[in-house]
Amino acid sequence: MKTRFYTYWTATAATKVLQYAKDIGMILFCFPAHCTHRLQPLDVGFFHLSKLITTKKFRQQHPGRIVTHFQVAGLFNKAYLMAATPANAVHAFAKTGIYDWMFQLSSTTDRPNMTNAKMVKNNYNKEA
């Protein structure tokens, strides 16, 4: 079974695409507009940083020239090695609203502690 992810959807092609996907057993995931930044943290953080590094390095080394397809692999390699760090990955996820799990800060229930509940009840009775 094939799975495809799409970030843009047009209503004109919807009927044909849906029928074709159904015929071949393909599962389509279509993201609503303006929400893909939360679903693609590396696109937001990593590729943006790689692009900045690549263009900065190339412009410093070759002012006034444009990048050709022959130079893309070498430039991307340098940018990848500089941008693909664990700190940048964590920052990319945080930038899109996805934060790492901190065990010490979490609780297993939303119910208040028994001592806190008794304190609230006692304080409520004192005010009445």
For the question of whether the overall pTM of this predicted structure is more than 0.85, the answer is no
Q: Has residue 18 got a pLDDT over 70?
A: yes
pLDDT band at residue 14 using 50, 70 and 90 as cut-offs: confident
- The tens digit of pLDDT for each residue in 85-120 reads 888 888 888 887 777 665 555 556 666 666 655 555
Give Cα 22 distance to the centre of its chain: 29
Q: Environment class of residue 123 by beta-carbon count within 10 Å: exposed (0-12), middle (13-18) or buried (19+)?
A: exposed
pLDDT band at residue 35 using 50, 70 and 90 as cut-offs: low
Q: Has residue 46 got a pLDDT over 60?
A: yes
What is residue 50's predicted lDDT score, i.e. its pLDDT? 82
Query: Rounded to whole angstroms, how far apart are CA atoms 45 and 53?
Result: 12
What is residue 13's predicted lDDT score, i.e. its pLDDT? 64
Question: ∠ at Cα 20 (14, 24), nearest 5°?
Answer: 145
pLDDT band at residue 122 using 50, 70 and 90 as cut-offs: low
33: tokens are: 């507009």
